[in-house]
Amino acid sequence: IAKGRGEEGRPGGTARRGLQREGVINDPDFQHEDLNFLSRSQRYEQAIRKSSLMVMKLREHGIADPDEIYWFKRTCLGPFPEPFGLHFSMFQKTLETQTTDAQKEKWLPLVRGVNIIGTYAQTEMGHGTHLRGLETTATYDPATQEFILNSPTVTSIKWWPGGLGKTSNHAIVLAQLYTQGQCKGLHAFIVPIRQLGTHEPLPGITVGDIGPKFGYDEMDNGYLKMDNFRIPRENMLMKYAQVEPDGTYVKPLNDKLTYGTMVFIRSIIVGDSARSLSRACTIAIRYSAVRHQSELKAGEPEPQILDYQTQQYKLFPLLATAYAFHFVGAYIKDTYRRISGDIIEGDLSELPELHALTAGLKAFTSWTANAGIEECRMACGGHGYSRCSGLPDIYVTFTPSCTYEGENTVMMLQTARFLVKSYTQVSSGQRVTGMVSYLNDLSRQRIQPQHVAARPVTVRINDPISLVEAYKARAARLVEAAAKNLQAELNHRKSKEDAWNRTSVDLVRASEAHCHYVIVKLFTAKLSEISNAAVRAVMTELCLLYALYGISKNTGDFLQAGILTDTQVNQVNQHVKELLAIIRPNAVALVDSFDFHDVHLGSVLGRYDGNVYENMFEWAKKSPLNKTEVHESFHKHLKPMQAKL
């Protein structure tokens, strides 16, 4: 019913992409054994093989448009991480945006032609989200016009960068720049790490794989230790800051520019949250339509487990959430596209709000999707635990996004900083704009003796627009409470940081409420844009479910603020249950609309044809333990044991 607007949100491209997809999926070059049965080394090798092939096919088909490349890559590689991933994203992108023309001329042909393979080495063993704490040093030596790179401590060893361990021969390294005896802060350098031709590490470089992880088997996340490793002066990325031959440091003009990249990457994670949750929902909902269990009425056949209210209550709110996040992801991407023109022009006025918003939404959506994927897995009972369900893989591939590109709690606190700042502005009589404009209402209410919560209750629980108002009131109340608590702490204590820390639980709650409001608002706004009446009707049901379920899970906030009464809470709970029954007949169609191909879903439970059990048996027969009818352990251990006794 909503086909074509689900996964990509760009209906026009669906048909062409479908053709392209069939082409790749049927291409014999891309076939391989089920990844679940391969060792980590084998998975790495398969990933390298597929990535190399993909580069070749890109050349062959002459695909150059970035969106097309992105789509083609996803089709070739599926949802799995690739060791080349950072080469195309961070390495190439950084070189395109942060280099001088001379540097572009030297490096970009090599990068685009994949004559060198690069990665982006920022995180260190002892330092992650807090960038200023990085310890790697790059000391300028004017005598030779070189930078000397060092990893002075164990904690300063670069740790985690994808593709660093075994694949890359170059890396962009972030290091503290020292010149003329002074530290000038973090800067980026191009560092060759492996010998071209032999792929051996260069002298002064210690590089390797960080070992097995929770998922990401195909990725050689690596470590990098540098001992007095010298690179020419020209290897510092110098579009903004520069070091002149004599060591003179030239400052960059604007440091807000890096916000742009962060906004972009975090908006991708919001989209990933939507996609990963959609995949999990597809598997769990299809399987729940196939699985029969227990009895609802004595004497009748076992019902589909999707008919149980508890099962619907687990899955349908997640389905609604997946749709909500799709719209949010598209919104951020569009907003970023809209204002990135302004950014190039040097107008950065909208960037701080967008930056604050994407930080919070990145955290909110990745936390929710993470928990949602697990809920979907649990909803599939024991079989969800088998790797054949595909759910363990979705989870382990997605869950690190709660941490990478900014740890979620830290992200929530960044959003909170913006909210508190906006609140302070309103308190001092200024007006604020954008998504936080609801804070303006607070100043009007300040005339009244009671706080915002004491407004008369007017929420209509069947009306999404009215629910947006309820979420708005909750966000306002929690932002206000956090700001006031922060002020109280500040009155008691000397240090700002200490006061902030002692309020941080409240601040995170405020950010969550703000993000939740933004999502309900964006979902509601989307409804009026849907022209097809049937699609609009079912999307309205999902939107209502999303909003009401969120209330029922956070009744404390709504009750405490007096936004809802006990009676209304009952009505909300009741209406959630009614919506579950209303959505039930459309549930499978709603996941079919996400349009995942079986090959990409990678799940026996979530197969489009629903032939689950016979295919589980076929899958299991291929397990490595089943290679021989009697396992060698029998001869080695069991038989001697029994003989001895």
Partner 1 sequence: CFRNPVHMDSVLSGVNPDLASERLTASFSVEKLTARLDGGAEHTRMRRAIVEAIESDPAFSRENQYFQSQNERYEAAVRRAVHLQKKMREMGWTENGPEIKYIYRWLSGDIAFLLHRVFMRSISVLGSDKQVAKWIPLATEHQIIGSYAQTELGHGTYLQGLETTAVFDIATQEFLLNTPKISAMKWWPGDMGRSATHTVVFAQLYVHGKCYGVHPFIVQIRSLQDHSPRPGVTVGDIGPKMNFEHTDNGYLMLQNVRVPRENMLSRFCEVQPDGTYVRWGSQKINYFTMTTVRISILSDEVILPLMKACTIAIRYSAVRRQSKLKPGEQEAKILDYQTQQQKLLPQLAAAYAFHFINIYLHELFDRGYQEIQGRNFDSLPELHAFSSGFKAMVTQYCTSGVEICLRACGGHGYSLLSGLPSLYTRVLASCIYEGENTVLFLQTARFLIKCFMAASAGQPIPPSVTYLSSAKPGKCPAKDKLDFLSPDVYLKAYEQMAIRSVTKLQHLIQSGAEKHEAWNQCTVQLVKAAQAHCHYITVKIFVETVEKLDNKAGIQKVMKHLCDLFALHGIFSNAGDFLYDGYLSGAQMDLVTASYLDLLAVIRMDAVPLVDAFDFTDKSLNSALGSYDGQVYQRLYEWAQKSPTNQQVSPAYGKYLKPLLQNRLSKL
Which residue number, 47 or 257, has a Cβ lying nearer to partner 1?
Answer: 47
Question: What does the buried/exposed string (b/e) look like for 481-499 if buried means 16 or more CB atoms within 10 Å of the residue's CB?
Answer: bbbebbbebbeeeeeeeeb
Q: Which alpha helices (DSSP H) does 428-503 contain, by range?
A: 440-445, 464-492, 496-502
Instruction: Please name the residues in contact with 132: beta carbons below 8 A apart, sequence gap of 6 or more.
Output: 185, 186
DSSP string, 171-203: EEEEEEEEETTEEEEEEEEEEE-B-TTT-PBPT
Find out whether 107 and 99 touch, Cβ atoms under 8 Å: yes
Q: Among residue numbers 119 through 178, which ones bind partner 1 (CB under 8 A)?
A: 123, 125-130, 133, 154-155, 157, 159-160, 165-167, 169
Contacts of 47 (CB under 8 A, 6+ apart): 77, 80, 81, 82, 83, 218, 219
Rounded least distance, CB 183 to partner 1, Å? 16
Residue 386 Cβ, how far from partner 1 at the closest point, in Å? 5
Do residues 23 and 597 touch, judged by C-beta distance below 8 A?
no
Q: How far is the CB of 243 from partner 1 (least distance, A)?
A: 27
Of 7, 405, 480, 489, the active-site residue reads: 405
DSSP H or E stretch at residue 231: strand 229-232
Binding letters toward partner 1, positions 346-375, x by CB under 8 A: ----------------------------x-
- Nearer to partner 1 (CB atom), residue 153 or residue 532: 153
Interface with partner 1 (CB under 8 A), residue from 95, 114, 171, 280: 114
Residue in 139, 424, 487, 555 binding partner 1, rule: CB under 8 A: 555
Q: Pick one of 498, 532, 534, 608: the residue that binds partner 1 (CB under 8 A).
A: 498
Tokens (6 digits) for 283: 């598997």
Site for partner 1, residues 230 to 289, rule: CB under 8 A:
none
Supply the minimum distance, in Å, between the C-beta of residue 322 and partner 1.
Answer: 20
Of the candidate spans 15-23, 111-119, 180-188, 510-518, the one that interacts with partner 1 by CB under 8 A turns out to be 111-119
Question: For partner 1, which residue of 48, 90, 522, 548 counts as binding (CB under 8 A)?
Answer: 48
The contact mask relative to partner 1 for 573-592 (x = CB under 8 A, - = no) is: x---x---------------
Residues 396/377, Cβ–Cβ less than 8 Å = no
**Rounded Cα–Cα distance for residues 34 and 388 (Å):** 10
- Which helix (DSSP H) or strand (DSSP E) does residue 106 occupy? helix 101-112
Binding test (CB under 8 A) with partner 1, winner from 310, 430, 448, 462: 310
Q: Which amino acid is at 141?
A: D
- Single out the residue of 69, 116, 202, 537 in contact with partner 1 (rule: CB under 8 A): 116
The answer on whether 123 is annotated among ligand-binding residues is: yes
Query: Residue from 61, 337, 444, 637 that binds partner 1 (CB under 8 A)?
Result: 637
- Of 7, 8, 44, 271, the one binding partner 1 (CB under 8 A) is 44
The CB-of-245 to partner 1 minimum distance in angstroms stands at 32
Residue 405 annotated to the active site:
yes
Nearer to partner 1, 169 or 524 (CB): 169
Element spanning 575, H or E: helix 566-583
Cα distance between residue 508 and residue 527, in whole Å: 29
Closer to partner 1 by Cβ: residue 147 or 558: 558
Closer of 223 and 331 to partner 1 (Cβ): 223
Separation CA 411–CA 511 (nearest Å): 9
Give me the residues paired with residue 209 across strands: 222
52/180 with CB nearer partner 1: 52
Quote the CA–CA distance of 161 and 121 in Å, as a whole number. Answer: 5
Residues tagged in the binding site annotation for FAD: 123, 162
- Binding-site residue ranges: 123, 162
Which are the catalytic amino acids? 405
